[in-house]
Chains A and B, each alone.
Chain A
């Protein structure tokens, strides 16, 4: 794996390999010394053109647990007129010897530009680009769902997929890189995805996506859902007439207390509620839903570090083989067996 730019071009074997590697990485987090020497001497640059403390510290923790040197580069001047160009920034990082660049950018496609040009030859991880993709978020979501799905089936997570799992994703799909990355990845892993949104917040062309589309959250819930993912909705969208008011949005498309009770009433005792964060409590998700035992919000954050460790490891280990069973930690100097670590 040279880069991780999107989930759309991620094969099933590679996706499962990342998730399996993340399971092994997760074991590290359970140990007293949460550190591996795997990436000692390698330099990871967090290049953030957009504020995102959560994603940045998640990548930072992941890189540090693998003993990489981490440089945080907050590129504020994000327009050509105000600051340095992406090309100059990339060449500067290249000259400093960056081995991997984790890039968050407000412009869709910016990570692709880094990967496709000769500005820098480091591995590129897309940490969210505009309204395009956020592949590590989708991978951590899939990781969280897979653990849940495997547990229900009474099997191991490793090697498993999401076949048959019904996932609903509700909210501002139009502006959501999380939704896009999840649609492609969850489909690749065998899940059945339904997008739920007001028609104004679905992109023209969504009918060609490999998922179902619904304008009615209650109908979707009534049909049965194993994982309910709520997307952040920005109140400002109201000003652009995407919806009339935040209250109307919340009533029709928010996961409120009534809908939380609906899950119980319809007997969906194992349905989980997910949110990529940060949450707008009271808008797209009620406090009771966010804090309920069904909520996986904090597990998602925790799993994010494991998934990002896996992505960095696979990118920088230079291992392009496909098998998911490679004992990936063997090269790290320590040889902890996954099973023992668990």
Chain B
């Protein structure tokens, strides 16, 4: 049982953007939901004008620890997550050493517990060292204290079709899922940006859409053949959306993710040669952006995943070709999705809750995340001021990464409070304190 987390009364929040209601939080759960609840003994949070949503769950976060603590640590990355409205993140496996053993995933899990800002769920590598040659000990990671259910070589594609087939089959033994970074390596050797009109002019080696789409097409067919669960990371092209839509119509067990940056930004930004816009998969065209938005709205794409990828400044203050790929995203995701999906009328806040909380929790098999905001449910809640507008300043973020492609943009929506298992990790838009269980001896929580 978690230590006491206090009693809070959220007064008059629009639950999922609907009618205002009170939420009474006690001992880590939503004790009551209703109107005019008694504030006896509770800390009252006036939530008039705020939207209450289930705590967000990121299926795709790079926390960089162990190995690149100069880029991010579990502590700084999860502070950023809490500020962004998250109560759980999946930490990708491309750390140093790679998270390809029970030991490393348990280390990351423990660091997350010790930090106490969100639930950190390590992703296990599919292959040893992300080398794409030999399966990592997937079962050992699944059975570890970290209870890994998502496996990915993210950053690198599991391009060997036999290895991919075996991985898809093997993880069925413990209800796992393989999250594929879809990138045909031969078609993208040396690739620097989306291949098209802009790359032709800029003289940067192209990353063609077909390199993503051909792998997704192969993998959905493999998933169908062996009856496995496939998750496609950071879908970036209109063609990929079409293939996934086709696969779902055929009943193939596939889920897909889109990043906030692919919902908003295009390769036109690369004309500046500013490496803050360098990311993998690359920024695509406006037609792709529109298709991704439509795919997210109609359910073809299941979730928003940030692919939060902090880098030290020297990896971006250089020539484009030298620069590292990746963008920060945890502290801007909510605002970008509100801007691109809600303000455009494509989605409601209830849809937002589905794609940022319920669906990602289901993919990662997180039982106490992504739950409805009802009595008896775990109190993972985010309060959002949808009318607020703010200008993105990477130097005011909690993440160590300053590589936000939204720098200087005005975006809507501010996280006012985040409750993680009943405890406010964020209050009044500022970091509060970690969950009290963080102070417990490792393993006790």
A residues apposed to B, CB below 8 Å: 8, 79-80, 85-87, 105-110, 112-113, 116-117, 129-133, 177, 180, 203-206, 208-209
Give the nearest-CB partner of B196 in chain A. Answer: A205
* Other-chain residue from B196, B203, B319, B322 in contact with A131 (beta carbon distance below 8 A): B203
Q: Taking the complex as formed, is B273 at the interface, i.e. its CB lies under 8 A from any CB of chain A?
A: yes
* Other-chain residue from A8, A108, A116, A203 in contact with B321 (beta carbon distance below 8 A): A108
Which secondary structure dominates where chain A touches chain B? loop
Q: Taking the complex as formed, is B197 at the interface, i.e. its CB lies under 8 A from any CB of chain A?
A: yes
Q: Cβ of B319 and Cβ of A209 under 8 Å apart?
A: no
Q: Taking the complex as formed, is B160 at the interface, i.e. its CB lies under 8 A from any CB of chain A?
A: no
Q: Cβ of A180 and Cβ of B321 under 8 Å apart?
A: no
Q: Cβ of A85 and Cβ of B317 under 8 Å apart?
A: yes
Q: Taking the complex as formed, is B39 at the interface, i.e. its CB lies under 8 A from any CB of chain A?
A: no
Which residues of A have CB within 8 Å of B196? 204-205
Apart from A80-B318, A204-B199, list 4 A-B contacts with CB within 8 A.
A107-B319, A113-B318, A133-B203, A177-B203
The complex places the Cα of A205 from the Cα of B202 at a distance, in Å, of 11
Q: Cβ of A109 and Cβ of B202 under 8 Å apart?
A: yes
Which residues of B have CB within 8 Å of A79? 322
B residues apposed to A, CB below 8 Å: 192, 195-206, 208, 272-274, 314-315, 317-322
Which residues of B have CB within 8 Å of A87? 314, 317-318
Q: Cβ of A205 and Cβ of B200 under 8 Å apart?
A: yes
Which residues of A have CB within 8 Å of B197? 205, 208
- 16 contacts across the A-B interface (CB closer than 8 A): A86-B319, A87-B314, A105-B319, A107-B322, A109-B321, A110-B320, A113-B274, A113-B320, A116-B272, A116-B274, A130-B203, A132-B204, A177-B203, A204-B208, A205-B195, A208-B200
User: Which of A8, A79, A109, A206 counts the most chain B CB atoms within 10 A?
Assistant: A109
Shortest Cβ distance from A316 into chain B, in angstroms? 24
Q: Cβ of A108 and Cβ of B318 under 8 Å apart?
A: no
Q: Cβ of B322 and Cβ of A132 under 8 Å apart?
A: no
Q: Cβ of A86 and Cβ of B318 under 8 Å apart?
A: yes
Q: Cβ of A132 and Cβ of B203 under 8 Å apart?
A: yes
Q: Cβ of A109 and Cβ of B273 under 8 Å apart?
A: yes
Q: Cβ of B318 and Cβ of A85 under 8 Å apart?
A: yes
Give the nearest-CB partner of B197 in chain A. Answer: A205
Given contacts A80-B318, A87-B317, A87-B318, contact A108 B203 (CB under 8 A): yes
Which residues of A have CB within 8 Å of B318? 80, 85-87, 113
Which residues of B have CB within 8 Å of A8? 201
* Other-chain residue from B200, B273, B314, B321 in contact with A112 (beta carbon distance below 8 A): B273
* Other-chain residue from B205, B208, B317, B320 in contact with A109 (beta carbon distance below 8 A): B320
The complex places the Cα of A203 from the Cα of B202 at a distance, in Å, of 11
Shortest Cβ distance from B323 into chain A, in angstroms? 9
The 6 closest A-B pairs by CB, nearest first: A109-B273, A132-B203, A205-B200, A131-B203, A203-B200, A107-B319
User: Which of B192, B201, B322 counts the most chain A CB atoms within 10 A?
Assistant: B201
Shortest Cβ distance from B408 into chain A, in angstroms? 14
Which residues of A have CB within 8 Å of B320? 107-110, 113
The complex places the Cα of A7 from the Cα of B206 at a distance, in Å, of 22
Q: Cβ of A209 and Cβ of B314 under 8 Å apart?
A: no
Q: Cβ of A132 and Cβ of B319 under 8 Å apart?
A: no
* Other-chain residue from B192, B199, B317, B319 in contact with A205 (beta carbon distance below 8 A): B199
Give the nearest-CB partner of A79 in chain B. Answer: B322
The complex places the Cα of A324 from the Cα of B197 at a distance, in Å, of 33
The complex places the Cα of A132 from the Cα of B274 at a distance, in Å, of 15
